[in-house]
Structure formats: structure tokens, C-alpha cells
Structure 1
Amino acid sequence: MNNYFNILKNNWKFFVIAIGILIVANTFNGILSISSFEKMYTDSVLSIYRDAAVNLKRTIELSIKFGKQLHEFYGINMLLEQFKEENSNITDISIARPGGEILYSLDSAKVHTVIPSNLIPDYLQGKETLCKYNPEKKLHDGMYYIFLEIRDKKKEITGMINVTFKESLVKQPLNLIIQWNLKKLAKTTLVVSVLLFSSMVWLFDFSTGRFQRKRLYCLLFLFLCLGQMIYSYYSITYFHEKYVGIIHLKTLGIQNQLTTEIEKFLTAGINICKLNKIDERLKSIADSTPYIDNINVLNKDMQLLCSAYDKHEDFPIKNNMESKQILQGTLKSKELISGHIQIQISKSAIQKKIFEIIMDSVTVLLISLVFITELLFFMFIFI
């Protein structure tokens, strides 16, 4: 045992440099992995609030279609308050003219003020732009601004919805992701270091008193690659869970919105079997939401009444509910159960996004392996 530690003591630089390469490679992998996932995660979180605003947009446009004027919209403040109740994390929601003058807002002090033009997308201001990417969402002074146009019955822009919320709503989950990555990197580094340390005696040539360099570099490459692959596997699994969780939250928000709309009719005395044109409403939501496969309304006996798409399925649908692929809610009228609503999450849409995550991770892994190879090559030459 003493000889073993003497060997390590006399050749400590190989071990230290190997661990240094591992730390650098893992850090490099972590930075690339987080960067590749950050945009997708941010867009997914922002789309939760955008999807909620789309439902409000439909309600307002439907009223305008039947003759209401945006600047004389009775009851719109109630809609904004309801939106705030359903999306409590937002800072404010306002309705403005295309030029930016705020007509309605949860913050009464903002009414008749003007949204800065640099925050408003050009197309909402009637400007022509050569830039193909003109985002509906912008980050300014620690606040996210999401804009959606409001169109009249002639399909002309008559106003816009502006939802604002703090950047911290996005940053806090991302910080947790970074912390998770750091922990996994530390564990991977520790495991590979222990393996490398325990293998040092196998690398030593007792006849010459030196390490067998070829065997050393082959083993280093093997262990470093193993560490990278383990970390990449954990990253893919973790990002998969996070993305599915976001899809679940977004779908739950749509389900709650539909539940509120349908229960208004039920409370007014309309029988659930006689909901007029509800299938068109379901179809419009499913058409504009790629991660939703179908939306079904069922009676209290779980018999299908209407759906977004006419698909032949067996009811009640119970498979995959635990895996969050199907969300089911209850429709009530005066505290009595009148029916149910089911939303089926599209497996193909999730698989497509997960495939993108996997391809990003594979790309990062290959880049990291090339990086490791280059470092080992220089180590082989100069040490």
C-alpha cells in the first residue's frame, strides 16, 4: 500500500491533470447543455402565459364580432380580473390601441398612458419591417412583455393585449436547473476520479518506475467519455421531465379555461347535451395548440357528447392518465356533476420535442468528446 501511494506521490501530475481535464470537459458539457435547453425552456414557460392570453383574445374578438367597440367594452375589466385570478403570477395585463395607448389595465394608473414603442412589435404599430423575426415577447428592465393583436370582424387590427410579468418567473426555474447540473457534474467528476485513482496501479510499470503512457491515455479517454455519457443521460432524462411538466401545466390551463366557459352555460340552465357549437370551440383550440391531440366533452356517465376531432375511441379513456398524457376535469352545474372534459396530450408532439433535446445533447456530447481528445493529445505531447 505504501508503494502504491509512493507511486502516486511521484507521479501526481498525471492524476491532477487528468482530473483537471475531466472538470474542464464536464463544465464545457454543462454550459453547452444548459445553453441549448435554456431557450426552449424559456419559450415554453412564456407560452403558458401567451396561451392564456389567446383565450382572452378569443373572448374579446367574439364580442367585437357581435358589435362591441373596443374603446367602449363594458365588462372588460371583469375579464382582466378573471385573467389575473387564473394567472396570479403576472404583474399586469392591459388592453391598448395599436399605437400603444392603454384603454384598460389592472393598474388604473396606467390607463391612458402609452406603452413605449420600442416594446411593441412593428406589425402592431402598422410599420413595415425587413426583419423576419419580430417577436411578440420582449424582455425589458427585468420584465417580460407579451403582445397579442386584437382583430375586428374585418380582420383588421383594432387593438392589442399586453401581459407583463417578472423575469424572475423564468429565471428561478432556470437557476434550479443550473444547480441540478452542478450537482450532477460534481457527482460525475467524483465517480470518475475514484475510478481513475483506483486504476493508477494498473497503469504503472514497476520495471521502469513510470506510467505506461499509452495505457494511461486510453484509460483516461475511456473514463472521461464514460463520465460525459453518464452526465448526458441524466441531462436528457431531467430535461424530458421538465418539458413534460410544462406541457402538463399549459394543458391544465386550457382545461381550466374551457371548464369555466362551459360551466357558465350549465349554470345558466343549458343542458350539457345541448351546448351549441361547442365542438367548433374545441376544434379551434386544438388546431392552434400542437401539443393537444383531442378535446372531449362527456356526460356524467362518461359517454362522449362532442370532441374537437371526430375520432373513434373507447370511453371512458383511462389509459395513460397517471402518466399525464390525458387530463380529465369535472364539469359542474350548481355544485352537481354534469359531465367531464378530457384533453389528450399529443404523444407525437412531445416525442418530437424530446427528439430535439436528445439531438442537442448528442451534439453537445460529440463536441465534448472532441474537446477531451484535443486536451489528451496535448497532454500526451507535452507531459
Structure 2
Amino acid sequence: MKLFLLQKEKAAGMNNETTSLGRKSRYTGLVFISAALLLIIVVLAFTGGLNISSFQKKYEESVVFSLVAPTKQTIGKIEYALKYGKELEHFYGLRELIDELLDQLEEVNEVRVLWPNEAIAFNRDNVILRVPIEDTSIIETLRDRHEVATKLENDSVVHDYMLERLENEYLLSVPIYNPHGYWEGSVQLAFDRSVVSTRTGEYLFILLRYLLLLAAFAALILVLTMSRLPITDHAGKLRSKPLLILIIAIMSVIQITYGYINYQLFSRAYINASQEVAVSAAEIISRDIQSVIEKGVPYSDLYQLDTYLQGIIQELPAIEQINLMNEENVLASSEGGRDRIESTMESDYTFEVGLIPDQTGNLPYIHVLLSETAIKTELRMIVLDMVTVLITSILFMIEISILVLLLLSNGLSNGVKKKKEIPRFTQQSPADTTMIRPLSFIFHLALFLSAAFIPIMSKELYEPLWGMSENLIIALPVTIEMFGAGVGVILAASNVDKRGWKPLFLLGALSVAIGMLICSLPSINILGFSLARGLAGFGYGVCFMALRALITSGASGEKQTSGLTSFFVGLYAGINCGIIVGAMLADRIGYHPVFTIGVIIVVLTGLFVLKQMKNTIPIPRKEKNISFGETFNQLGGFVRNKQVVAFLLLIVLPVAACNMFLDYYFPIFADHEGLSTSDVGRAFLVNGLIIVYLAPLFSKLFLKWLGVEKALLMSGLLVALAMVIFGVKGSVLTAIIAVILLGLSDSFGLVAQNKYYLSLKATGQLGTGKAIGYYDNMRKVGQMLGPMIFGGVVLMGQIGIGLLGILFLIMLLFFWVTRFRNDAEQQKRGSGNELSL
């Protein structure tokens, strides 16, 4: 009987445990579905938000184009009078001209005429105000913007008007030039932001509706799948891999579907916006021509009508050609010819507007031909943006999904136990590296949001400083940032064994947040920006070493290897996502708000570390105690070793410096060539994807086929080749080729550098940890010198970068000739931990 009762109690206990596990599994499943659904909504909302902002920018441009054309007609009349001695300050008849302009532009609330000291404001209530301009910086900005535009050789790529986006309105300034071609003043149009936001709001509602429908569909699929797929195994552990595959598959399908809907919606919207511009242009032409025809002038006597039509479409890239024609002849054409255009094209790209007959009975019409090439080019850019967002969102979804699954797994492992207090400091405790990948991802995402536009922003902030050349001053923020990172690495390396990784990471995150916060200030100058980047760089160096210390605090070599791999995967994913997201946001909301977003993410990362992760210190290795004299002699022997010196000075330093072509020079070059910040971000993405996805394959192939030394030289040759190709012909194409070659070089070159360096006898004698520290610092020195080198060589033009590549080729040859061969034991290249980037 007693045995029966014991068995019954045991069975009851097992049933209770099974019930508890089942209840816990159902609860975890509900949390998983909720988290997955929230993630889907966030990603779709971000995608839709980017696309909405893209359309808003395009529609904004179409509104501006429709306002610029009639404004320039009015300005033409003003400039004609200035040729005959009239002064803008005392322009008789100005009110009539502006009233006529206000009648044409229904969206505009007020028109202001500005000159260096005063402005006259005309509004629709016939109230005229003459006010002094107290903020002279506005005038200087207008003068600089307009005078630079007049000096450009290719006027078709840069417009001479300027658009300011205020809180409640837009200010569109169109310049007035004097007879000598210099800026005399501006006509400024003020119109409400609702002119643009009302239209984009219609599409926002449509996108929101599709988002909710797709989210509901995703929720249905998740619920149906989870009802058949157990979320935990028999031991109560989370089935992470099947769940990760499930959520990525669902989100990828949803994201692709949403992207297709976005493209269909916005391609139609962009064509409509282009048609609205064309209609506006046709109305202007119709109004001007009919005002003359009504006075009895026949169409055949209209003077310089071809030139007039050319002036109309000069600021309207969406229009290819405008013709004044009747059933038999072309009376005038913006192309200057008289070739008839058959109206057989798609209705989306051509339409006609009728005119009144003249006294001879001639009844022509205006034929407008939209530029199919220009519109399709813009649509291709929309597709390119969407593909970029798709790739970035998939990377983002993978990393955040891993974080969600790790949190759920930790919740399951903790069970219903009372939450224990996280110890503030744990002496020699093994590291928990499970969170290293999402932590590395989120931190690097925040840090690299601004990477694509820091050199461009430096160029915009340029001002004379300490007698330095312009190129060196522009390079200053990146150089000081790299210097700060090197200092941070050194200080963190000397303190991490005493304080542990967590306090140093929090200190570094605070430094990064403060530096980025200073960068977000609109009033910042080039010196303040440089110092702020140095502070952010210092924080990054500290955080980098703190995270490396978190990995090395594990007692198990297997855990260290796993943690290191997770760290670099998260790092590259964070860099790629950060650069792309930051670049696309900068194109839409400006540079300064992107820094603010970065600050928020860094602060949230710091709070997560503070609350959820414990402090650890690296477990000390058992090493033989040596005296200071022995240590000094050992260090002296290391730095005098010819193999070490040749490797660090002839390989590591120049490779790190040349790689700053992407980080520093390419954004400035791309901006000069008219590429957007998003295009710069895409170049970074291509480079990063090559490194991430080709590195495992190329490392094995090149190291196996060529050996370590030849692979090392091959990677250097690719870097030199990238510089030479761009130096021979500096174009967007060769710049992209250079970026690709740099990515290919890094994909196996870093591993080759690692293996070669750790196989040297001098490295083993000094100790791997110390040797890695010297390697890291030499890379930081190269990254610090890179911007200064590029800033100097570009004074010779693009050929200077080609000469830099040739110099590196000579250094590679010198390294090959002067290297000392190791003995048989040293030639056997051992594997080691990968070094920092």
C-alpha cells in the first residue's frame, strides 16, 4: 500500500511537471507569436515610412518645379528692367508683377522679394510689408548658394534655387541676377507644408491599410503553424532553429509582397506627379500665349516662341518636349525643330491642351511629351531603394529574431524561479557569450548610422582652421575619430583586467552617446564636430575592447571561438544595416536627426547591458613570472624583429590606410558626382556583403591554394589595384570597382594577416594577447592616417590616388624581397583567433 502511494505521488508529480511545462510552452508560444507579429509590423512600418518619405521627396520636387517655372518668368521681367538701370530696392511696378505671380500660384501664401538689407513681403490680402533683414546669415547663404550655381559648368545637374523646410511651411528662393551675372536678390515663395503632406497622407493611409492586412495574414500563418509545430522539445528547451527559419520565411514573403505593393503604388503616384508638372507648365504657356493672342496678334507672328518654350522646360526634367502645333504644322518647339510628333505613345507620357483661335482662324494646341527616360530612371531608383531596404530588413530581421529567441530561451531556462539579483562584479567567472551577437549588432548599427555622410557633413562644415588646407580640414573629423578609437583601445586594454568588461562598456557607450549628441546640434562647427567624433571614437574603442574582454572571459576555448564568431557576425550585420538605414534616413530627414536616433539606440543598449548582463573579467592565464628587465628585453626584441616590422609597416599600415578610400574619400567623391547619400550607403552595403558572405569561402580557397604568404600578397595587390584603377580614370564606375576590390581583399586578407602574424616566432615569444594589441593599434594608426593621406594626395587630382596605389605596390615588392623565411616549424602556419577590424 505504501509503495502504491509513493508511485501515485510520483505520477502526480510528473503530471504536475508536465502540466507546468505545457503551460509554460503555451505561454512562450503566445509571447513568440506576439513578438514576431510586432517585429513584422515594425519592419513593414519602417519600409513603408522610407517609401512614403521617398514619394514625399519626389512629390515635393514636382511641386517645386511647378512653382519655379512661372517664378522665373516673373524674374525674367525684373532682370530685363535691371539691364536698363532700375534698382531692385526702388522697382516701380514690382507689386503688379508679384500680384500677377500670386494669381498664377494658388498654393503660395506669400511672395517676398529679398535683397541684402531688406525684404518686401506680398500676401493675398494685399498687405505689403517692407522689413529689414536682421539675420544676415540668410542673405549670405542665398548669395553663396546662387553664386556657386552660376559658376558650375553643367547647369543641368544643379538648380540655382534653394528650398528651406520649416516647421509649418516651405520657403522656395529663386535668384535674381544683375546684368553682370551676380546675385542681386531673390524672389521667395512661402507655402504650407500641407501642400505636400495632404497628398502623401493619401498614400500613407493606403499603405497603412495594406500593412494591417499583411500583419493579419502573418498572424494567421503564425497561429496555424504554431498549432502544429511544438515550440519546445521534450526537455522543455526552445526549438530555436525551426522557429528562426519560420519567422524569417514568413517575414521575407511578407516583406517582398509589401515591397511589390509599394512599387506599384508609388510608380503610379510618380507618373501622376510628373503629369501634374506637365499640366502646370501647359497652363502657364496657354495663359501667356492667349494673353497675346487676345490682343490681336496671330500665332504666326509670335516672337522667339522656341526660346520661350525652352525656358519653360529648363527646370522641368520630367518634360522632354513641348510643341505648339496644329493639324498640319509645328508652329514652335522647345527642341527648335519642326518635326511632328505622332500621338501614338502611351497616354501616360503624352497629352494635349487646346488654345483659342487667333484672328486668322488658326486653332493650334499645346502638345506636351513627358520624358519616358527620366521617369523610368526615377522608377528604377525606386526599385533600387526597395531592394536595398529588402536586403537590409532581412539582415535586421535575422538579428532581432535571434535576440527574441535568446530572451525567450533564457526565460524558459529560468522557469518560475525567483529572479536572482545580478551580481555587480564576478571574479574570474566564465563569460555568458549568448548575447554577444545581438549586442554587437545593435551597438554597431547605432554607431554606423552616420558613417556614409560624415565626410560629406565635414565638407559642408568646412571653414579655415590653423592654416591647414581644405582637404586636410575635411579629413580632420574622421582622423580624430580613429585617433580616439586607438586611445580608447589602449586605455581599455590596460583596465579591463581590473574592472571587468561591463563598467568599461557602459563608460564607452556614454562617451559615444555624448559625442553623437554633440554632432546632432545644428549649430556645430567643424572644430566641434571633429572633437565630438573623437569622443565618439574613444567610446567605440573602449566598447570594442570591452566586448572582446567579454568573449575572452570564458574558460572554454570553444566558447571563446563561438563568441568571437558571433561578435563579428553581429558587427558586420550591424555595420551594413546601420550604414544603409542611416544613409536613407539622411536623404529624407537630414544629417542631424540621424545622430539623435543613434544616441537613443546607444542609450537603450547601455540600459540593456546595465539591467540584463553581469560583469566578468578575463580569467588570468598561468604564465611564468618574469622580471621587468626580461619584459623590456622581450619587447625590444619584438619591435626590432625584421619580420614583425616589415609586416606591420609594409602590409598592415598601408592596407588600413587605403581602406579609408571607402570610409572617407568615396562619400566626398560620390557627393561631388551628384550621387545621393543612399547611393553611398549602397556602396558600403556591397562592400560589407562581400566581406561577410565571401570571407568563409575565399579564406579557405586562397589559403589552401596559395598559402598564407601568397594570399597575404594577393590581398595587398587587390588593394593597390583598386587605387590604380581609380587613379587612371576617376569615375563612378571605377570608384564602385575599387570598393568591390577592397571588399574582396578584406574577405580573405584579414584572415591571411592573422595567420601570418601569429605564426611568427617573435609573436609567440611576446605572447598572443600583447601581439594582438600591437596589431590592433597599427591598424588604428593606418585608419587615422588614411584620411590625411587621401586629403593630401587628391591635391594632385585623381592621379594622386593612383600614385598611392603604385607606392603600395613598391612596398609589397619590398616586403616580398626582404622577408625572412622561417624554419620548417615556422612555415607551418598555425591557426589563431581572428584579429579586430
Q: TM-score under structure 1 normalisation?
A: 0.83
The one-letter amino acid paired with 1:330 is G
Distance, in Å, in 2 between the alignment partners of 1:310 and 1:128 is: 29
Distance, in Å, in 2 between the alignment partners of 1:156 and 1:207 is: 77
Q: What does residue 470 of structure 2 align with?
A: none
Deviations 1:34-84 (A, max 9, x none): 444444443443343233322322233344446665456554433322322
Distance, in Å, in 2 between the alignment partners of 1:182 and 1:237 is: 15
Q: Does the alignment pair 1:257 with 2:284?
A: yes
- My pick for the range that moved more, 149-158 or 161-170, is 149-158
Q: Is the 8 A contact 1:51 1:250 kept in 2?
A: no
Q: What does residue 354 of structure 2 align with?
A: 330
Q: Does the alignment pair 1:359 with 2:384?
A: yes
Q: What does residue 290 of structure 1 align with?
A: 317
Q: What does residue 268 of structure 1 align with?
A: 295
Q: Does the alignment pair 1:77 with 2:95?
A: yes
Q: Does the alignment pair 1:220 with 2:238?
A: no
- My pick for the range that moved more, 33-42 or 232-241, is 33-42
Aligned residue among 351, 364, 368 for 1:339: 364
Deviations 1:256-283 (A, max 9, x none): 1111121122222222123221111112
SS at match of 1:111: strand
Q: What does residue 192 of structure 1 align with?
A: 218
Q: How does 1:295-306 map to 2 (within 5 A)?
A: 295-299=322-326, 301=327, 303-306=329-332
Aligned residue among 372, 377, 383 for 2:397: 372
* Percent of aligned pairs with the same amino acid: 21
Q: Is the 8 A contact 1:150 1:161 kept in 2?
A: yes
Distance, in Å, in 2 between the alignment partners of 1:95 and 1:75 is: 13
Aligned residue among 44, 51, 65 for 1:26: 44
The one-letter amino acid paired with 2:391 is L
SS at match of 1:231: helix
Aligned length: 375
Q: Does the alignment pair 1:91 with 2:117?
A: no
Unaligned runs of 5+ in 1: 1-5
Deviations 1:316-358 (A, max 9, x none): 525323x2x1131112147976211111111111112222222
Q: What does residue 78 of structure 2 align with?
A: 60
Name the structure where helix makes up a greater proportion of residues: 2
Deviations 1:78-124 (A, max 9, x none): 33223222221211113343433328665554332235536834254
The one-letter amino acid paired with 1:159 is G
Aligned residue among 339, 345, 350 for 2:375: 350
Q: Is the 8 A contact 1:330 1:337 kept in 2?
A: no
Q: Does the alignment pair 1:171 with 2:197?
A: yes
Structure 1 vs Structure 2 CA RMSD: 3.7
- My pick for the range that moved more, 305-314 or 18-27, is 305-314
Deviations 1:226-254 (A, max 9, x none): 11111111222222222222222222111
CA shift for structure 1 position 150:
1.6
Q: Judging changes above 3 Å, is the alpha-carbon distance between structure 1 residues 194 and 116 closer, same or farther for their aligned structure 2 residues? A: farther
Aligned residue among 96, 107, 110 for 2:128: 110
Distance, in Å, in 2 between the alignment partners of 1:129 and 1:328 is: 37
Q: Is the 8 A contact 2:112 2:119 kept in 1?
A: no
The one-letter amino acid paired with 1:361 is M
Q: Is the 8 A contact 2:282 2:368 kept in 1?
A: yes
Aligned residue among 242, 247, 253 for 2:269: 242
Deviations 1:171-210 (A, max 9, x none): 3333334333322221111111112222334424999598
Distance, in Å, in 2 between the alignment partners of 1:150 and 1:49 is: 15
Q: Judging changes above 3 Å, is the alpha-carbon distance between structure 1 residues 313 and 206 closer, same or farther for their aligned structure 2 residues? A: same
Distance, in Å, in 1 between the alignment partners of 2:108 and 2:137 is: 17
Q: Is the 8 A contact 1:77 1:105 kept in 2?
A: no
SS at match of 1:26: helix
SS at match of 1:113: strand
Q: Does the alignment pair 1:138 with 2:138?
A: no
Distance, in Å, in 2 between the alignment partners of 1:118 and 1:176 is: 39
Distance, in Å, in 1 between the alignment partners of 2:82 and 2:357 is: 28
Q: Is the 8 A contact 2:256 2:390 kept in 1?
A: yes
Q: What does residue 3 of structure 1 align with?
A: none
Distance, in Å, in 2 between the alignment partners of 1:372 and 1:272 is: 63
Distance, in Å, in 1 between the alignment partners of 2:81 and 2:167 is: 34
Distance, in Å, in 2 between the alignment partners of 1:54 and 1:32 is: 32
Q: Is the 8 A contact 1:105 1:111 kept in 2?
A: no
CA shift for structure 1 position 148:
1.4
Q: TM-score under structure 2 normalisation?
A: 0.40
Q: Is the 8 A contact 1:94 1:163 kept in 2?
A: yes
Deviations 1:352-381 (A, max 9, x none): 222222222222221211111112223444
Name the structure where strand makes up a greater proportion of residues: 1
Q: Judging changes above 3 Å, is the alpha-carbon distance between structure 1 residues 32 and 66 closer, same or farther for their aligned structure 2 residues? A: same
Distance, in Å, in 2 between the alignment partners of 1:81 and 1:109 is: 11
Q: Is the 8 A contact 1:37 1:357 kept in 2?
A: no
SS at match of 1:102: strand
Q: Is the 8 A contact 1:96 1:159 kept in 2?
A: yes
Q: Is the 8 A contact 2:146 2:183 kept in 1?
A: no
The one-letter amino acid paired with 2:181 is K
Distance, in Å, in 2 between the alignment partners of 1:70 and 1:115 is: 15
Aligned residue among 320, 328, 336 for 2:346: 320
Q: Judging changes above 3 Å, is the alpha-carbon distance between structure 1 residues 294 and 151 closer, same or farther for their aligned structure 2 residues? A: same
Q: Judging changes above 3 Å, is the alpha-carbon distance between structure 1 residues 194 and 127 closer, same or farther for their aligned structure 2 residues? A: closer
Distance, in Å, in 1 between the alignment partners of 2:315 and 2:174 is: 14
- My pick for the range that moved more, 99-108 or 238-247, is 99-108
Q: Judging changes above 3 Å, is the alpha-carbon distance between structure 1 residues 312 and 220 closer, same or farther for their aligned structure 2 residues? A: farther
Q: What does residue 120 of structure 1 align with?
A: 138
Distance, in Å, in 2 between the alignment partners of 1:188 and 1:97 is: 54
Q: Judging changes above 3 Å, is the alpha-carbon distance between structure 1 residues 181 and 126 closer, same or farther for their aligned structure 2 residues? A: closer
